[in-house]
Amino acid sequence: MKSGPFAFVRTTTFRLALVYSILFALFSAGLLAYLFQATVGEMRAESKTRLEAELRTLANAWNTGGPTRLEQSVLERVLVDLRDFTYQFENARGETIIGDLPRMPIEPIEEVGVSREGVFEIERPGPEGGSVVTPIQALVVRLGDGSVLMVGIKMDERIRQVNRITRAVATAAPVGFLLALLGGFFSARYAAHRAETLTKTAQGVMSGDLSLRAPVGGSGDEFDRLAEQLNAMLARLETLMAATRHAGDSIAHDLRSPLSRLRNQLEARLRGPIDEVSARETLGETVEEVDRVLATFNAILRLSRVNAGAEGTLLPLDVSELCEELAELFEPACEDAGIAFSADIASNLDLSGDRTLLAQAISNLLDNAVKYTPSGQSIVFYARRKDARIEVTVEDTGPGIPDTDLERVKERFVRLDEARTHAGSGLGLALVDAVAELHSGDFTLTRGNEDIGLKATLSLSAKG
């Protein structure tokens, strides 16, 4: 959207304000029309009926007795001051016969017997000086001999009242229209401004700065809520992006070395003499090396997906049962390796968890224990409830890990020198950490009992 001083004109708010202003104006006009019709129109119609009746009576007088009879009738009426009629009678030459107006205020129609309606004002000196203006509604008709008769009636006070209302509304309506427009203008500008900050944030994010957040006004209005949602979405996106980028970096960095090693081996073999036996041997080694690379690759992908929350479905799970199964799975391997294995699993350890991921995490801990605990030593595997948490612990009496490395080994690809003699990707404990986080838990490594060996604890939040 182009911006400029009048950009708000295109906003929805402004358009709505405009529409409402126009509706308001139409409504005012309609109201006036109705008011006019209901009062002035009706009164005029009523007056006109009376005027017509009066005119008919006088015309009758003329018909029966000619001008003399008419003059007499009018004079009688003036003297009696019948109601509030006003009369003016001119002969064919335009000379006033009856009436106090200087001349006929309304031009009659030439055709005889057809009346014409009109309104005029007369000005008379008021009782306390100055002058009083009286509006007169009148009918004028030309009689058979060319003389002209006018009958007028004073317009009621109510009509003047209506006239005042009409004037008031006619003045107020444009002002109201202007005010509505002005209100529309300001609310549109406010809304446009708020929307503009959101647009700016979105543009900033699109241009690559994922750390941008939309400002939240704090009033809790719909724009604030929108901004909060937008910010939450951005935060999630940023996490996912970071996880993806981290995985990408790790893959690039950590697959490069085995691949380079592989390439060098192959090249070294190429330079030497090639017979079938050595070629077969080289190919076999190559397949093994590639398998290792692929395994690492899969492990990184899985770890990244768990870290990003893209893998793992939390369902009701009996950890006791899972641990019993794992104990049963690993017990023979320990026995074979000459390690004393004991398991102590409390029952009914229920939580909401992903069976496969938890099984893999615990299995990683048991794997490590079996790998690094020398023959003749022992492994204790226990699971129990501790307050609102469920703790799964694998404790061994092996060589342990130096205090300074206890945190570091949880990071990706960190392998201590002592571990390099064993196969492994350096991702096992990182996965345990990620799985713990997925289950809103912690993974801690400490020295074992009496400062001997290693104690690995997975602390998970229990259900409910």
Partner 1 sequence: MHVLVIEDDLEHAEFIEKVLSEAGHSVETAGDGSGGLSRAREDSFDALVVDRMLPEKPGLQLVEEFRNGGGTTPALFLSALSDVDNRVEGLKVGADDYLAKPFAPEELVARVEALGRRQVSGEPPVTVLRVGDLEMDLLSRKVTRGETKIDLQPREFKLLEYLMRHAGQTVTRTMLLEKVWNYHFDPQTNVIDVHISRLRAKIDKEFEHQLLQTVRGAGYCLQA
Residues that bind partner 1 (CB under 8 A): 291, 294-295, 298, 305, 311, 313, 325, 328-330, 332-333, 335-336, 356, 359-360, 363, 366-367, 370-371, 423-424, 428
Give 231 or 378: the residue with its C-beta nearer to partner 1: 378
Please provide the distance, in angstroms rounded to a whole number, between the alpha carbons at the two ends of the chain: 50
- Please report, as a single letter, which amino acid is at residue 154: K
**How many angstroms separate the Cα of 202 from the Cα of each of 76, 205, 209, 214, 306?**
91, 5, 10, 8, 28
Minimum distance, C-beta of residue 10 to partner 1, in the bound complex (Å): 45
User: How far apart are CB 366 and partner 1 at their closest, in Å?
Assistant: 8
Q: How far is the CB of 414 from partner 1 (least distance, A)?
A: 17
Q: Report the nearest approach of partner 1 to the CB of residue 461 (Å).
A: 22
Q: What's 361's DSSP letter?
A: H
Instruction: Write down the least CB distance from residue 283 to partner 1, Å.
Output: 14
CB of 326 to partner 1, least distance (A): 9
Say if CB 373 and CB 339 are below 8 A apart: yes
Q: Given the complex with partner 1, which of 234 and 365 has the nearer CB atom?
A: 365
DSSP 8-state class, residue 146: S
- Choice between 55 and 369, CB closer to partner 1: 369
Q: How far apart are CA 213 and CA 231, in angstroms?
A: 6
Q: CA geometry: angle at 316 spanning 311 and 321, to 5°?
A: 100
Nearer to partner 1, 85 or 330 (CB): 330
Residue 354 · residue 312 · CB < 8 Å: yes
CB of 330 or CB of 443, closer to partner 1: 330
CB nearer to partner 1: give 371 or 385.
371
> Which residue in this structure is represented by tokens 């390796």?
337
264: exposed, middle or buried (C-beta count within 10 Å: 0-12, 13-18, 19+)?
exposed
Burial 24-48 (b: 16+ CB within 10 A, else e): beeebeeeeeeeeeebbeebbeebb
SS3 helix, strand, coil % of the chain, rounded to 5?
A: 55, 20, 25
* Rounded Cα gap, residues 65 and 143, in angstroms: 13
Q: By C-beta, is 117 or 331 nearer to partner 1?
A: 331
Q: Could you tell me the smallest distance in angstroms from the CB atom of residue 290 to partner 1?
A: 9
Query: Closer CB to partner 1, residue 22 or residue 329?
Result: 329
Measured from the CB atom, is 176 or 424 closer to partner 1? 424
Pairing of strands 378-386, 340-345: parallel
The residues facing 98 across adjacent strands are 89
Q: Which amino acid, residue 375?
A: S
Alpha helical stretches, state H, 308-438:
319-336, 355-372, 428-438
CA distance 400 to 379: 12
Residue 403, Cβ density class (10 Å: 0-12 exposed, 13-18 middle, ≥19 buried): exposed
**Nearest distance, CB of residue 207 and partner 1, angstroms:** 33
Return the number of the residue (148 or 436) whose C-beta is nearest partner 1: 436
What's the min distance (Å) between Cβ of 243 and partner 1?
16
Nearest to 418 by CA among 433, 405, 436, 437: 405
Shortest Cβ 323–partner 1 spacing (Å):
13
* DSSP alpha helix (H) spans, 313-394: 319-336, 355-372
Closest to partner 1 by CB, 217 or 332:
332
Q: How far is the CB of 216 from partner 1 (least distance, A)?
A: 36
